[in-house]
Structure 1
Amino acid sequence: MLVGKAIAAILLTLCFGCFGKRPDCDRRPLKNSNALKSPGNNGFQVIVKPYPLNGSLDEVTGYIPGEKYTIVIQGWKTRFTIQTFRGFTLAALSSNDENEPAGLFQLKEDGDIRWSVDCWHAVTHSSMFPKANVSVIWQAPPHDEGCVTFKAAVLEYPNIWYMDDDELTKKLCIRGIASLIYYNTHKAGYDSPKNLDATEECCSCDEAKYEVIFDGLWSRQTHPRDYPSLEHLTHFSDIIGASHSRRYIMWAYGGYASDGMKELAEWGSTQAYEQEIREQVGVLIQFAQICIRGAYLQASEVRTIIKARGLWYPNVQGITRAMFRVDRYHHLVSLASMLGPSPDWVVGLSSFNLCLKNCSWIDEKTFYLYPFDAGVDSGITYMSPNNPSIPREPIKAITTKSPADPRSPFYNADSDTLPPFAKLTFRKDKVYPSECKDSSEYLLASRASTGETETSEDLENKGKKECTVLNWAPWSLCSATCGKGIRMRTRGYKNPVKAHIMGCSRQMNEKQFCNALLSVCHGSENFNDQCAASPWAQWTECSAKCGQGMRSRVRNYLNPMAIKQCSIQLTENENCTGSAGLECNVVEDPHCQATQWSEWSPCSRSCDEGIRLRTRLLYRPENQESCKHLELLQKESCNLLSCDTFMRTHAAEICSELMERGQCEGTFPRYYFDSGTKTCRRFTYTGCKGNRNNFLVRSKTYAYSLVTEVVHEDNDLNALRDTTTTRDNGTPKDCVVSGWSDWSECTQTCGRGMKERVRTILSPARNGGQPCPVELVEKARCRLRPCSVVCRIGSWSSWSACSASCGTGVQIRQRVAKNPHKQPECPAQQTEKRMCIESNC
């Protein structure tokens, strides 16, 4: 975000420098050289691939509006050599007007690619190191703007470069008629996608199982205007939905929210909605119940109740998924999730038909989701206080023009474009061949043996009695004392060890929005329209030309009368250094002009002392060496709530969170507390995202799990004391410890491993009583069957000679795999490559 602001400042300055005229574009990949362009492309090419890559080798042949793609520039490669290059420039241009850019490149903050200072919409290299390929993310235009032409220039050696010829130009057009139909359903605004065939019958006799994947996109970067100031409250609630027949409508634009939808839209609660879905009883053609073997059963209009975990901060941009089944009668799917915090805003899909006219099932379908107003609350902003709509209003899409209120975070009088909030993908998992049946048979098939409609959890854990769960614990207290907060509840497996072995995936905790006893925090702008304020203005110039000075920024109440009753901060001041430096000895160099300082980053730690950063960029990065005297990075310390206080306050919530590996590709050993088995377990953290149940050392995990026990018992956070011994001047009491738990499963599946068991402190020692034992964990070796040997690996050979006699080349070395069991592959790496440079040119 910081870099994005700096880039925006650069582009703005460049545009102002042109006095309204669009700057000329110089896409040559080299500067300060008179070398002429070489003809042809010498093997270099532009390739368009899917995003994310996921190992795919397929090229993209057409684009879908708004989708992201990976644009790759690479040279030829053989078994022993890879063609490298030093620099490049890449632009995406409209085929209708090659002076106009098409789509948008998205750059990583610390990548090898930057924006070009000589062509405002092109990207270029940030270093001259040799590279075998480069890739950049490109988002297609949100509308059908015709074909897009990618044009690249490549600098192979300091004075040898190619541009636009042959495969350095790539043309990409909108993909097929199906994509146009898909896109036309979005044209009239930001409705969730509607299916024009929802009223048609399905002719497929086969049944199908689908996976639905919900991918959160909403963030401060995608929707910066008035983003919720209480970021820890941002979330998509638990997802509720159903695969159903044409006789049932879960929600629809222009309709009115049911009581279940009202609970979801206002609080993120799915219980009432789930009960409504369960009660959808079908009415047969004969308007009678069906008699089978002497028993009367009610038939359901719903095949599967779809339930998926919500995405809560800091994992709002995560992924959640669920499974469901469809058949000839139940061929539509609907779902919804609250966007929070908000008055009553929801994202979702209504009555989408998965059945095709050729009597088969859709393989895969992706939609982008935009919010709609459920019509049960009249709030305008994310943080509006409760303002019930009585009577309820029709469900309607939220757009840049509706509501037509400048206070809306989506209002934009000059644009119709609103970035999507989530992506929804339906992916066919399996088809079950079947003969065609009468509608009454499908109705009965939708009921399980218990007479209950199956849920997505039942489908995912079908046939696993080890996945049986206990009842939900009571809801916790609301986390806020005024305004709105979070409450949660948990449950566990009846047999946690067996559930872990079987890979059960039932939801173990639920979170909901909650209203504190004081619905409005006095004097606060949060959930208080009376104290709402405008966004902060830009920082003023530093008050000093040299040495230490001050700069400030202001904002105003939206309601001028609020100054009498509100006390929020309207002015911010901070220290700054003049452009001539602290010692007043810096002469401003026009080649070293820099952007304004970015906003301060969040503190590097959520508790105790950390650091925060801010940065600025040179307008001309190529002058970085001569401008190294200019400060581009500033650091300062930040001190928040102590970690001990923070962890004790939130221990119950943290220790009940499910293990999250994260979404990157690192391998970091960490520990988490398993609330089901009451044990500390090791897992591999991937390096980003995840949640707070993530500890570097085992002892920390147990320490906070003990606090969790106390919190659950007393529910009094202020009464927490040291769990080893406490003094209250009463009778001495010895520490009470639980018995040992069952042994955990072995850490290995074959050969030698370790197992462990734990005990917990039930009651700490008081007033000098017998202290608690230090050993709360006991370990033992476990021996299993010998591991089968898949393959044995020989030693590495010597490195080969460099593949190039001059310049950059490649060396390789190999080792031989001996595979006694004749497995199809040996997983160990058998070939290694490294770069080599020969200077005898």
Structure 2
Amino acid sequence: MYIKWLLILLTAVRLARGQPGRCDQTPPMAAATAASENKDIYHLNIIQNDRPMEGKIHYTPDQTYVLKITTSNLTRPFKWFMMTAEDPDVDDKIYEFGAKTLDVGVLKTLDSSETRYSERCFNSVEAAKSTDKSDIEIHWVSPKQSEVKDHKVRIRVTVAENNEAWYEGENLTLVLYKDNKKSPDSPPYPPRKTCNLCSEARYEVIFNGKWSRVAHPRFYPSKPDENGYSHMIGASHGYDYYLWLQGSSAGMGIKDLAETNNTTLLEDDIIANMKEKSGTRTLIRGKRRHHPHMAKPSHALFRVDRYHHMFSIAVGMRPSPDWFLGTSRFELCTDHGWLLESERPMYPWDAGTMNGVSYESEPTLTKPVDTIERVEIGSFNKDSPFYQMNLNDLKAFAMLTVRRLDVYPLPNSECTVEGEEQQPGEVEEEPVEEGDKEDEEEPEEPVVGESRLNLNDPTSCSLSEWGSWSPCTPVDDVCGDGFRTRARYRGDRTTKHESFDYQVTQQARPLSTNCEGDQDAKLVEYQNCFVDCYKIARLQ
């Protein structure tokens, strides 16, 4: 008896919410049991740039599209409609209760007085009242990104002219195909587990901010004098390490950078993971930029090798709930040699730790913590800067350029000799030596700390005395609370075996080695400090 009542209850729920099979869109007021011939009067289109899309239509995952039902004859409006997003193979499928269905995206009603969500079919919207309509708009948010390459969605519409005539079919049905092209901010090459290039390379990475009232006018911060980017923080690293990753939870370093623009924890993590044949190699650190200098470039130098052949960076945005810009696992090792040059636009990412819909939203703690995802583009919240906006329509918040400067052959390495061939679509440039660039701003922060030690030499594993403390670096750049560092080094710096390569302005941050016994010894120490704002004001 209990099972019988349970089945009745489940059946009632299914009937109330609609079944996952093909939706019966027969109008409830229809006197005719079959649809009439449309004769090219009623149409369903996807509108882009105020014009219907034609031909085979491709959609980008997790984007907003405008679906529009129109009549080509204004003397023949329609009184009722129903729109359904569905699996194109639904006609031939038999669904078991509880079976996982295809992600077909979400239909969104725009006018609650004219439209409503259907109670008899899944993923369906219908007319709320029988009034004459010459056109109606419904927004569709496409399916989330997935591994399915041949993902298709069918949008099917029925319209009723009156109780006697209703229409469906070719002009009122669209099949949409997933666009498998990478998003414009994706790195040009996928990460690779191994790199067999017999060389090291030196790169420059440049972050050019583009966030402005002109480019991003909707809900631009009301106090632009408080706008700013954090330091550009990143690392060259191996396949086993990631600074941040879409779909994964943010580490404490990314959380702190995204919420407060503090980079200390992220730098500590990069330094702690410095290893000879895995983890990180170079700490990337570029200048922070505040209004009105946010358009000035922030740049840094770094090195890569066959073990550390990719790089990642992150830049915090202020104000924002927990948004940041960056790139993750950017591969530089290719079949043609080290990548020559690449430029990519940058769009905001959401760290998933704080709730907030706009730049100046009062943030609240996200419970439970979400994963790192792109900031909700195409949001249906009218308080969002990205309200009903596609990624293709959004202007870049920054441009990131990575450029190869030098290549250093390693003839004795156990690897495959690569060909330094010109890559398709790229321009070979003459190697740029330091000092050759006119008016280039010198980095004011530690750029790279790395060592190349002779591990067969016992003196390479010895630790030097601590160096002197660096000047105090205020968190806010000018004065107030800050930190300073001091470092020591592996190896006897007076012996002929020493071959450290540092580019230092304030304090070097050396790369640890795999020396036994003292592998975990600390090479860099931090200390809190304070710069007196009153004294600075008097000096100025």
TM-score bucket (shorter structure): 0.3 to 0.5
TM-score w.r.t. the length of structure 2 is 0.46
Question: Which is higher, the Rg of structure 1 or of structure 2?
Answer: 1
